[in-house]
Amino acid sequence: MRKTRLPIPAGLAELPPGPELAAVLAGIDLSRLGGLDCVTVMQAQHRQAAHEQAKLMAAMVEVALCGLGPDDALSRMDAPDEFSADEIRGALVWTRAAATTQLSLAWDLRCRLPQVFAELERGAIDVPKAKVFSEWTCGLTDAQAQRICDALVPQAPELTTGQLTEQIKRLAIAIAPDWARRRYAEAVRERKVVGYRNDDGTANLCGYQLPVERAAAACAHLDALAKKIKHAGDGRAIDLIRADLYLAILDGSYTGWPEHDIIAHMLATAQQGGADPEADADADVAQPRPDGRHRQAPEQAPGSVPESSPIGADPWRSERPGPIRELDEEIVDCPDGQRPVRRAGVEIRVEITTLLGIDDHPGEIAGWGFTDAEAVRELVRDQTAAEWRYAITDDDGYLKYEGITRRRPHGYPPRAAAPCRGGIVELHIKHRDLRKLAASPHRLGRWATIIADLARQAEQPEQPSACPTQGKTRRESAASGSQIRQRPGGNDERGPRIPGKPMRRRTEIRDRTCTHPRCRTPAYATDGDHIQQWARGGATKDDNIASACRHDHRLKHDGGWQVAKLASGQLVWISRLGIHYHVPPPLIIQPLPDPAPREPVFSHQPDFYGDGPIWRESSSAPSDEPGRSPPPHPNEPIPF
């Protein structure tokens, strides 16, 4: 059916944003407009969207300024504090990083750049252009920023963000000649190494499309060594240590170095002032590198800045303490004289049925997201030296029993030769499925001993105790016992303030992540926080310990938030403005749909609980029949 063309309302192109424009736009049928009129409507929508974004920013600023106390008091702070963004993050279901970024932009536009905010509110510019003004005038004085805004705000509606950026940089350098150098040096002081996962399952670590488990292992190794350096006495920020380690390891400077020499060199670098970019700027002498070569100091013109100064902590500004050591004894025994490849382990969570080949459910690398079944099976095989935990759930997937198993599948690499060191393997299975599998051990191949061990522990589960020293090894008990504080006149029944390792393992498995409703920090990277504070009589026991990342731990103690636990076991986070956020217990095993292949396929996989062995056909195996592989002998282990 052909529609009749309708004209747009008169004066739409000049109508300012606000309630009137919103009402006009709501009554327009785009499908009955010509092309030019559609462009006019799009421009009007763009003005209205910018106006609404300005209103949202104004609301965020007011929320951030709201202080403690009843609403009728209308209490306001002079400026947002460290925890102001958390109120926004909770209400708008944002991450902490997103809430902090948006609030910082809104506050900067409202307070430092009101002229830019006014243009945004009237729809003359949009948020990306406003953000350019905020970012590229950061570090200038208010007077310098005002001169730039006076010159460029009138031109901004006709400039792209790239053109606007170039114009601001040109003016800023002319107005403040030292601005670029200071901006660069300040940015370098915030340097850090970041690894993150892509939507397709790969990961980025300054390279792209890497296998996610290798990127996670590299971050874990770098982080572990940086923490050792930090604990050994390096006073710099941990991100700066990671950044310098990252460069030194990748460019080969530390190749063949024992770990203690790396730590000693990093400490010597920090102690000689390498952490201060300004101090490095004054260093004009050649310094030896660890490989014996010398680094020549660049020639400088008066008042110029050496190329190396913004880099901050240059690890080659000091001599390596001591001679380069020869290969360790363990390397001498290697066939090729090479150090064996052993990367850092990660925390992997996977269903046992997936490892058995019964299904192809995704596994999870804690903090990195989900990956496919084949990658999970290979990673689990590499981590025989990791701590293997188990989580047995009820029929709905909620935690029922947990613990550790020292068994490993027959034929997997021995722990001493495992390709990964450290890490955690967390095995998930429903109790009913565990019973069915344990009833047919002849079908389980190399996994029979593990299933038997889990079934035995499930029949006699360890009862969590209010006293964290129960169920520990002698070494763990001695370590935690030193932290016990006793009340005058008797033993402290609350137990030690810091939860022991068994209790932390239980709470990590139970909570999965930080318990704040907007946080995804893996539980292993959180603190064991007392719901009822230990200093106020709260005991160190399972039902009074919850996982909280360091920020959210401080949010509770210093930021005015509270945490309560209901009789059902559900946690409630209460913001300082009194808003309640309920956090239900997480599912350990999530319900997943059956595979939906693109084309019809013929499955030769036997029934889950049939009489035959559990096995999976390999598409690459030789076959007497085209398209079909012969099943293995019943006594063969399960192939993967």
CB 191 within 8 A of CB 312: yes
Which pLDDT score is estimated for 295? 36
Considering only 18-22, 442-446, 570-574, 622-626, which range has the smallest mean pLDDT?
Answer: 622-626
| Other C-beta atoms lying within 10 Å of the C-beta of residue 633 | 8
Please say if the pLDDT value at position 599 is more than 90: no
Helix (H) or strand (E) holding 196: strand 196-197
Please say if the pLDDT value at position 367 is more than 70: yes
DSSP state of 620: T
Cα separation, 292 vs 525, in Å, equals 39
Q: Which residues contact 453 (CB under 8 A, 6 or more apart)?
A: 405, 406, 407
DSSP for 574-604 reads E-TT--EEEEPPPPSS---PPP--SS-----
Which pLDDT score is estimated for 430? 96
- What 3-state class would DSSP assign to 238? helix
- What 3-state class would DSSP assign to 481? helix
Cα separation, 520 vs 95, in Å, equals 9
Please say if the pLDDT value at position 608 is more than 90: no
- The mean predicted confidence, pLDDT, of the chain is 78
In the structure, what pLDDT confidence band is assigned to residue 333 with cuts at 50, 70 and 90?
A: very low
Measure Cα distances from 376 to 168, 403, 503, 623 in Å. 49, 21, 27, 27
Residue holding tokens 């240059």?
Answer: 314
Range picked from 150-159, 271-280, 601-610 for highest mean pLDDT: 150-159
Cα separation, 258 vs 563, in Å, equals 46
Q: Phi-psi category of 546—alpha, beta or left, where left has phi over 0 and alpha has psi -120 to 50? A: beta
State pLDDT tens for residues 109-155.
999 999 999 999 999 999 999 999 999 998 899 999 999 999 999 99
State pLDDT tens for residues 284-302.
333 333 333 333 333 333 3
Which pLDDT score is estimated for 282? 35
| Of 561, 580, 533, residue with least CA distance to 85 | 561
The arithmetic mean of pLDDT across residues 95-109, rounded, is 96
Cα separation, 518 vs 389, in Å, equals 26
Cα separation, 169 vs 70, in Å, equals 46
Give, rounded to a whole angstrom, the gap between the first and last alpha carbons of the chain.
59
Which pLDDT score is estimated for 619? 36
Which pair of tokens denotes residue 272? 């000689």
CB-based burial of residue 274 (10 Å sphere; 0-12 exposed, 13-18 middle, 19+ buried)? buried
Measure Cα distances from 390 to 282, 349, 452, 466 in Å. 56, 9, 13, 21
State pLDDT tens for residues 457-503.
998 866 554 443 333 433 333 333 333 333 343 445 777 788 888 89
In the structure, what pLDDT confidence band is assigned to residue 251 with cuts at 50, 70 and 90?
A: low
Cα separation, 22 vs 18, in Å, equals 6
Domain locations in the chain? 12-189, 202-294+307-324, 343-459, 499-583
**Single-letter residue type at 103:** L
Instruction: Report the share of the chain in percent with pLDDT over 70.
Output: 75
Cα separation, 601 vs 619, in Å, equals 13
Which pLDDT score is estimated for 465? 43
State pLDDT tens for residues 57-87.
999 999 999 876 555 566 789 999 999 999 9
